[in-house]
Amino acid sequence: MAASPLPLPLPLPLPLPDRIRGRFPIFDSKVYVNSCSQGALSDAVRAAYEGYLTDWDERGAPWGYWMEKQEEARASFAGLVGATTDEVAVTTSVSAGVSALASGLDLRGRKVVVSNYEFPTIGQIWHAQEARGAEIVHVAAAEPGRPIPLERFAEAIDERTALVSITAVCYRNGALTDIAGVVELAREHGALVLLDAYQAAGTIPLDVRALDVDFLATGVLKYLLGSAGLGFLYVRRGLVESILPTDTGWFADRDIFEMDIFDYSPAPTAARFQSGTPPIPSIYAGVAGMELMQEIGIAETRTHVLGLTDRLIAGVDELDGRVVTPREHASRGALVCIASTDDHALVAGLAADGIEASCRDGNLRISPHCYNSAGDIDAVLASLRRQRALLVRGDA
């Protein structure tokens, strides 16, 4: 009797970038490592824009349908961060969402504690509240490029603190904030916590319940693979109706089709933090980007990107360059910053080699994502080797 044939081994899954890279046409012409500024354009997002134009062309002014698309965006983001849909406002930007939030808080004689790692819009919004009686207190890092120590937050947060405003990942150096530690300090003094997750969403799994933050603001432009013009604000359900925004618009009303100009009746949900006509084209693109990112897998992306950035950091060390970003996985996001004697010249030099990157605060920013490969990192290192004169020495 003939022996049964042995089963063939299952094929090993392809590495992450090999599975998806073909969906991002930019890699046909250049090495793209600038996702901290804007995610690469995918076939899905391009098709979504084409779908918007087709719907506009064929349907005329299908506002009922477009409102369904807005709700689709709300649901997609809620699922991404573990929120419910009534806790999510669909905004045009982080600026719009946080401005609406700030307008509804009574900050007279109260403190807002702000980390020095915030994006400008956050600091500007909170300092604008000084005209309404708020005191703004900044928390600085102990060492450049390192996460801000919890002791610094502990010194600033007290019984007068209304809110602590932190970023998940600093856009200037890639440092990851100890979110849990800051939240615990805030809770001890009855303060609320706002998390700006723009440099984290899409590369680090986020769960608002586990994080225990009161507010989370972000957008889809970067690692969520959407385009400019779409943001979200999460507001913890128990807080929604206690905050009455004065920075508002008709899409924040309890019933936008009442068309009532004689009173202010905000929605009982986080929609009260919305404003005017929603950004319909960006919603199409944003839904496509978020769905694609969910399909790719954010947890797998985090592991993949950490491997790429480990490779980058080791290569910069070999070039005797100075990495400004923390080296420990638990202390950094997806971008790695490299000190430069002329950061704009270094970005231009990389561009001449077909590499798209960016700079901030005197540092070159390299931000790989799910679609980047080890070969991309090697190309960056080869370009940096040719431009070593523009790198700050590691021991300088």
Enclosing H/E stretch for 122: helix 120-128
CATH-assigned architecture of domain 48-294: 3-Layer(aba) Sandwich (3.40)
pLDDT of residue 176: 97
Arithmetic mean of pLDDT, 248-265: 91
Please say if the pLDDT value at position 9 is more than 90: no
Please say if the pLDDT value at position 202 is more than 90: yes
pLDDT of residue 5: 59
Please give the Cα distance from 96 to 89 (Å, whole number): 10
On whether the CB atoms of residues 343 and 363 are closer than 8 A, the answer is yes
Instruction: Give pLDDT tens digits for 104-126.
Output: 999 999 999 999 999 999 999 99
Arithmetic mean of pLDDT, 234-255: 95
pLDDT of residue 356: 98
pLDDT-based confidence at 13, cuts 50/70/90? confident
Please give the Cα distance from 361 to 198 (Å, whole number): 18
pLDDT of residue 376: 98
pLDDT-based confidence at 14, cuts 50/70/90? confident
Please say if the pLDDT value at position 10 is more than 60: no
Domains 16-41+297-390 and 48-294 share a fold: no
pLDDT of residue 151: 97
Please say if the pLDDT value at position 1 is more than 70: no
- Class assignment of domain 16-41+297-390? alpha beta
CA angle 342, 348, 354 (to 5 degrees): 140
The residues spanned by each domain of the chain are: 16-41+297-390, 48-294
Please say if the pLDDT value at position 81 is more than 90: yes
Q: At what angle do helices 63-81 and 43-59 cross, to 10 degrees?
A: 160
DSSP state letters, 69-85: HHHHHHHHHHHHHT--G
Please give the Cα distance from 60 to 276 (Å, whole number): 20
Instruction: Give pLDDT tens digits for 160-180.
Output: 999 999 999 999 999 999 999
Arithmetic mean of pLDDT over the chain: 95
pLDDT of residue 260: 87
Strand order in the sheet with 336-339: 336-339, 363-366, 358-360
Looking at this protein, which amino acid is placed at residue 130?
A: E
Instruction: Give pLDDT tens digits for 127-158.
Output: 999 999 999 999 999 988 899 999 999 999 99
% of the chain residues with pLDDT over 90: 93
